[in-house]
Structure 1
Amino acid sequence: MAAGPERRPGGVGGAGGGLPGIDHKKEPAANLRAAGRFWVLGHRPDPGGLESDLAAFGLDIRPESLFREDDKEFEVLPENWEALTVFLKCATQWRYAGMAGVQTGLDYSAVDVVLKFSQVDAPGQIFEQIQIIEAGAIEGFAERQDRQ
């Protein structure tokens, strides 16, 4: 197994950040949660509350416009890669609620089918990791909704 984070092409993989106060490069669960959030938003978290700082000075600037190009990449730990690939196969399997169509979580019966067809070695462990990614994605959905 590789010693450091693995770079993968195609949207998820790269140099990225994570959850504030947590070194996601060393914490697999934090890396999974941050991956879910990154999947939704396409960039790392607002560093240090930049958006609220700009607003306090009366500046109407979206923090995304200030992000560097490497903020738009995300590093996935090797031990999380299998769970992330299965999660991405489930990307169309969200449950929605309310008139606004808010994503409330993955359809676990569909996730089960994807797990079976993916023939992973430890489906129970992968499912638990997918739930962590899902929690990060739901945080990202909420953040995106708050900005609209």
Structure 2
Amino acid sequence: MVVDAGVADALAAFGAHQDDVKAAREQAPEPAFEVYEENWEAVQVFSALSTQWRMSAFSGFGTARLVHTGLDYGAIEPVYRLIGIRRDRRAAIFQQIRVMEEAALDALLPE
């Protein structure tokens, strides 16, 4: 796990042990990545939807787990409006979001 400067500052503010704060500050940040201009709006919307994942709980024989099942599509339209996405771009961006959602589900689903 990579801890950014904000998390390290929060650790210090909440009185974490100095060694822990130092270790957090020494962690290398994740490498930056490029987003093509034509994908930027979709990335912004997908990022804004990061708390809108639907999850299902499964249990049996003393074990339980939560599984991501997809984004809450009902949250997309308000995000479009709040970010200022033009109406004529929304359908295309939705298709881009679905591609990112599918890739995220592949990474999030347990093996």
Which of 57, 63, 66 in structure 2 is aligned with 1:98? 57
1:119 to 62, 84, 99: 84
Query: Deviation at 1:87?
Result: 0.7
| One of 37, 57, 62 as aligned partner of 1:78 | 37
Give unpaired runs (5+ residues) of structure 2: 2-27, 59-64
Q: How does 1:1-148 map onto structure 2 within 5 Å? A: 72-99=31-58, 100-121=65-86, 122-142=89-109, 145-146=110-111
For residues 101 and 73 of structure 2, the distance between their equivalents in structure 1, rounded to whole angstroms, comes to 11
Larger Cα-atom Rg? 2
Q: CA deviation at 1:74?
A: 2.6
Bigger strand share: 2
TM-score (norm 1): 0.46
Measured after TM superposition, the shift of residue 117 of structure 1 is: 1.9
Number of corresponding residues:
77
Q: CA deviation at 1:113?
A: 1.4
Q: Which of the pair has the greater relative contact order for Cα pairs under 8 Å at 6+ separation?
A: 1
Unpaired stretches in structure 1, ≥5 consecutive residues: 1-41, 43-68
Cα RMSD, aligned residues only: 2.1
Q: How high is the sequence identity, in percent, across the aligned residues? A: 37
